[in-house]
Structures are given as C-alpha cells and as structure tokens.
Structure 1
Amino acid sequence: MTWTLPEPMLAAPVSDPTLPPGWATEPKWDGFRARLSVDAGRVVLRSRRGTEMLPAFPEIEAGAAQLPDATALDGVM
C-alpha cells in the first residue's frame, strides 16, 4: 500500500488560552517539527516544509525501523 503523510497541524496564537472541554495543548519547546513515516520498511523523516531530515538523525532511523508498517508520527524532536 502506498500512502502519503497527512499535513501537520500547525500552532496558532489565540487571544484567550482557555481550552474547550475535551481539548488538550502542549508547549512548543525549541527543536524541530518533523513527520515520520514507515512504509514497507522504508523510514522517512521530513520537516513540515518537506526537507529530508533522516541524514541528520540516523539514530531515529534505527529506532523507527522497529515500528510497524503504515506508521505515521508528527511531533517535535
């Protein structure tokens, strides 16, 4: 099965930090926003703008290779 990563959810400033019931938030610390996918044993790590990041983080490839196929993660590292 071939698939593409979904677009990342981007942070947006708000005037009132009160969250509606059932919502959650997390702080954005310094780091890199990245999307990771594993498909047919191939690990892909890209910035939110699409830049390939795996050469800079080889340890992530080793760890992500243990994830099941059709895995997609979006987060800050």
Structure 2
Amino acid sequence: MGDRGTGKSTTVRSLVDLLPEIKVVFGDPYNSDPEDPEVMGIEVRDRVIKGEQLSIVLTKINMVDLPLGATED
C-alpha cells in the first residue's frame, strides 16, 4: 500500500475537490440520480412512476472514510 506518513490519505481526500458536481434528487438520503432509474432509491422511483416533478440539486461527491476492518454488517 505504501509507507506510513507519505500522504496517501491526504492525496485521496484532495481528489474529491477535483471531481465534478453531480445531479441528485433533493432530500433523498441515497443521492439518487434523477435521470437513471437503475440507481434510484425505491421512494424516488415510485415518485417518478407517479409522474411527480423531482427537485434536482447539484452536490459535491462525498469522501467516505472506512476503517481498515469495516465489513458489510
């Protein structure tokens, strides 16, 4: 992986600032893509099926720090 103290984490965290903003459905905890039903949350998909108008916002991509021993449970 790399020697300790060489700036690996700092480098990765700074990459977030270089990424473009993404369109998401306002208020959706899953940041559903308003244009792709394959990556929408169930609630957002139901709203689209009902024909509701979705509020869309631009947001920065978030960096998630996971501990080394993180598991799915």
Shorter-chain TM-score above 0.5: no
| Bigger proportion of residues as helix | 2
- Structure with more strand by fraction: 1
